[in-house]
Structure 1
């Protein structure tokens, strides 16, 4: 018997001994939790700040102005956007706006100073932003290569916890979960930012 056959045989034996699917780990998570809008947003802000993200509050009438100010403050001159981003969001930006597409090689995204996207849903309890590749969010590479990510979160898209957030996602869509700027620790426990994504995350909460 070959090594491959031995391994497959062991897998089949293990599956035979495994309990039926119905008897496996229960998935009875808490769902349907609600919280007043003010408290829900305050909880999200607290988590984002704890993760060292920059938080900006605005309403729909000042969204464009807020995005423009954030881009100006970070010194962005060349900004990438997904093809479906609302055109009015960058009308106040005086620099170059690059519309991303699958034809743009990922290494070329490093020439962008920042990227601006929307988001699908946000979990207040964990401070996690969910991007599912929708037209106003773009492909995964667009939000991982540039050093600055400006993400717009609407108040109505904020859920209390993970079960509520996941329930609003389409399982078949590619989902990127972002909890603060990209960061890790080296062997001496020194925090290193920007290893796997943007070093700077700016979250614009609109509503």
Structure 2
């Protein structure tokens, strides 16, 4: 029996209340059919729902297996899907990726791909063993108009790695400032700045997974 033949049947589960993807997909299709959707629309919807189910299975498997090669891909896709679902613009994310690709270069031996090698500091122990403080990108959130901040800083984050201790990449998250009342336009500007800052944090987190060149 085709889905259109079931238009008189009410969905057994209210839309959005089923936890099973297959049941939820069937509920959506039944609701569309009951609303008079044609076969082309229903076929397209089936493909979209199937794509979502396949991706969900894939993403779950990647996380369950802790697949380090695919986790960055899943994280990026999750971010894109989240932005599309929330109707947030993709342009800030795309622009950041383009900037990083434009700056991307071969890592120098002993350094991470994200290192600003001119800023990295190498010291030597008494036995001659080198210890390097790797310095990476820094992101800052602009200070809203008429707001004063300690050290002229509201939010910032730095990516670095200190071989003397853990040796692994870490993000230094910094904050300092006082309160300020914001009108609508000023608040919109702060929201946009925060959105860009969070994109930067996600990017730094992805960089932390890159292996150091040998």
Calculate the TM-score normalised by the size of structure 1. 0.24
Structure (1/2) with the larger strand percentage: 1
Structure (1/2) with the larger helix percentage: 2
Q: Which of structures 1 and 2 has the bigger CA Rg?
A: 2
Higher RCO (CA 8 Å, separation ≥ 6 residues): 1
Calculate the TM-score normalised by the size of structure 2. 0.23
